[in-house]
Chains A and B, each alone.
Chain A
Amino acid sequence: MRDVAVIGVGCTEFGEHWGTSFRDLFVKAGALALEDAGVTGERIDALYVGNMSAGRFVEQEHIGALIADYAGLATNNTPSTRVEAACASGGLAFRQAVIAVASGMEDIVVAAGVEKMTDVGTGASVDMLASAADREWEGFAGATFPGLYAMIANDYMHRYPLTREQLAQVAVKNHENGAKNPIAQFRNRITVDTVLNSSLVADPLRLFDCSPITDGAAAVVVVPLERAREFTDSPVRVLASAQASDTIALHDRRDISTLDASVAAGKRAFAQARLTHKDIDMLEVHDCFTIAEICAIEDLGFCKKGEAGRLTADGATALDGEIPVNTSGGLKACGHPVGATGIKQIYEIVSQLRGEAAGRQVDAEIGMAHNVGGTGATVVVHILGA
Chain B
Amino acid sequence: MSVSRFWRKIPQRYNLVGTQCTTCGRHFFPPRSLCPDCRRSGNIVDHKYTGEGTVVTYTVIRSASDQFEHTTPYALAVVELDEGPRLTTQIACPIEDVAIGMRVKSVFRRVAADGESGTIHYGTKFVPVE
Contacts and interface: CB of A to CB of B under 8 A. Distances in A.
Contact of A154 (B68, B69, B89, B100): B100
Nearest to A138: B88
Contact of A155 (B13, B56, B61, B76): B56
Interface string A135-164: 011101111101100111111001000000
B64 A203 contact: no
Given A124-B66, A127-B66, A151-B76, A200 B1 contact: no
A151 B63 contact: no
A190 interface: no
Contacts of A226: none
B78 A251 contact: yes
A141 B65 contact: no
Interface string B25-53: 00000100000000000000000000000
A142 B58 CA distance: 12
**Which of A124, A200, A202 has its CB near the most chain B CB atoms (within 10 A)?**
A202
A305 to B, nearest CB: 16
B65 A126 contact: yes
B20 interface: no
Given A123-B69, A126-B65, A136-B9, A141 B90 contact: yes
A144 B121 contact: no
A199 B62 contact: yes
Interface residues of A, number: 35
A261 to B, nearest CB: 15
A202 B62 contact: yes
B59 interface: yes
Contacts, number: 100
Contacts of A155: 56-57, 100
Interface residues of B, number: 33
Contacts of A334: none
A137 B87 CA distance: 8
Contact of A123 (B30, B66, B90): B66
Interface on chain A toward B: helix, strand, loop, or mixed SS?
helix
Nearest to A203: B60
A51 to B, nearest CB: 21
B71 interface: yes
A59 interface: no
B88 A141 contact: yes
Contacts of B62: 199-203
A252 interface: yes
A121 to B, nearest CB: 9
Nearest to B74: A142
Interface string A237-255: 0000000000001111000
Contacts of B102: none
A256 B55 CA distance: 12
A141 B111 contact: yes
B15 interface: no
Contacts of B111: 140-142
Contact of B57 (A126, A130, A154, A249): A154
A300 B54 CA distance: 30
B10 to A, nearest CB: 12
B16 interface: no
Given A127-B67, A140-B111, A146-B63, 6 more contacts: A126-B64, A134-B30, A141-B87, A143-B88, A204-B59, A205-B59
Interface of A: 123-124, 126-127, 130, 134, 136-138, 140-144, 146-147, 150-155, 158, 199-205, 249-252, 256
6 contacts: A126-B63, A134-B30, A136-B30, A155-B57, A252-B86, A256-B78
- The 6 A-B pairs at the shortest CB distance, nearest first, are namely A127-B65, A150-B59, A155-B57, A123-B66, A251-B86, A137-B30
